[in-house]
Each structure stands twice: as C-alpha cells, then as structure tokens.
C-alpha cells in the first residue's frame, strides 16, 4: 500500500478544486438565471428540447376547445423525458398527473406543476430553478396531451 498522501497536499488540492468550482459557478450564474419562463421566442436555445411535432406548438389556448377524456403526453428534453396523464372534464383540464420522469432531477421539484396547469388551464407553467429540463419536458408533455385533446 502506498504511503498516505500528506494532509497538507490534500487540503491544498481541495482548495484549488474549490476555486475551479466557484469560477465555473460564477461564470454560469447569469446563464442559470437567464432561462425565461415558458419562453417561445427562441431564447430557450440552452434547452435542446425535441418533442412530438404537436408538442412544439408555440401557444396553448386558454379557452378550452378540448374534448372530454384522459390523454397522455410525453415531453422530451436533453436530460430525459416527462410523461403526464391529463384529464379533461366538461371542456376543462380537471386533473394532471406525472406518470413517468426519466430526468436526473427529483420528481418533487416539479410536483407543483400539475396544479399550475389545472389552475391556469394552460401548459404554460413556471420554470423551476434547479430542474429546468424537467420543467421544460413537463411543459412539452402537457402541450402534447392538450394537442391530442383538441385534435
């Protein structure tokens, strides 16, 4: 077994790595905060989302032309997918549940988004700091489900 690395060298190396980390943290601070909520103006170029063609529509009507029923939609992001089950009753979105998440983010981070869809009657939910890609995929999933509901 090799002799142990001197503690002083460990501390020095750790400090250097911490400095590198903070340099990266600071350099990316504006990029992390700069992704607009539900933006469709092309400024979401940091998120390379690809969804079903129906899911890439840029607007979701707030006044409901939806048929009653339960619809499933999947949104894809660079870091994984989100699948939702969306129920329309009496022409209104009555329930949304997340049925599958394959992103790295904790599901808990986007747990509030289904409630926002129901209260806003729209797929335009808030962005979630720290779970940007999950929120993006969720938005696209809801839009895909709504596109099916209105087809």
58 contacts another protein (rule: CB under 8 A): no
Q: What whole-number distance in Å separates Cα of residue 142 and Cα of residue 21?
A: 36
Widest Cα–Cα separation across the chain: 73
35-43: long-range pairs with CB below 8 Å, 24+: 35/127, 35/132, 36/127, 37/124, 37/126, 37/127, 38/124, 38/125, 38/126, 38/127, 38/139
5 contacts another protein (rule: CB under 8 A): yes
Q: Which residues from 69-128 bind another protein, rule CB under 8 A? A: 78-80, 100-109
**Between 19 and 89, whose beta carbon lies closer to another protein?**
19
**Between 20 and 89, whose beta carbon lies closer to another protein?**
20
Residue from 8, 30, 41, 151 in contact with another protein (CB under 8 A): 30
Residue from 14, 40, 95, 119 in contact with another protein (CB under 8 A): 14
Nearest to 38 by CA among 89, 75, 85: 75
Q: How far, CA to CA in Å, does 21 sit from each of 1, 3, 13?
A: 31, 28, 12
28 contacts another protein (rule: CB under 8 A): yes
Interface residues with another protein (CB under 8 A)? 1-2, 4-5, 10, 13-14, 16-17, 20-21, 23-25, 27-32, 34-35, 45-46, 48, 78-80, 100-109, 130, 132-133
């Amino acid at each position: 077994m090799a002799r142990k690395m001197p503690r002083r060298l460990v501390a020095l190396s750790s400090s250097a790595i911490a400095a590198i980390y903070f340099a990266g943290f600071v350099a990316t601070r504006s990029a992390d905060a700069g992704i607009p909520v539900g933006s469709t103006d092309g400024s979401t170029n940091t998120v390379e989302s690809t969804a079903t063609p129906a899911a890439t529509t840029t607007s979701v009507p707030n006044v409901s032309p939806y048929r009653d029923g339960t619809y499933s939609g999947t949104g894809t992001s660079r870091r994984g997918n989100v699948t939702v089950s969306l129920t329309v009753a009496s022409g209104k979105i009555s329930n949304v549940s997340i049925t599958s998440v394959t992103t790295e983010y904790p599901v808990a981070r986007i747990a509030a988004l289904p409630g926002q869809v129901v209260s806003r009657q729209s797929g335009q939910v808030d962005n979630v700091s720290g779970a940007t890609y999950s929120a993006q995929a969720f938005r696209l999933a809801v839009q895909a489900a709504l596109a099916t509901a209105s087809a």
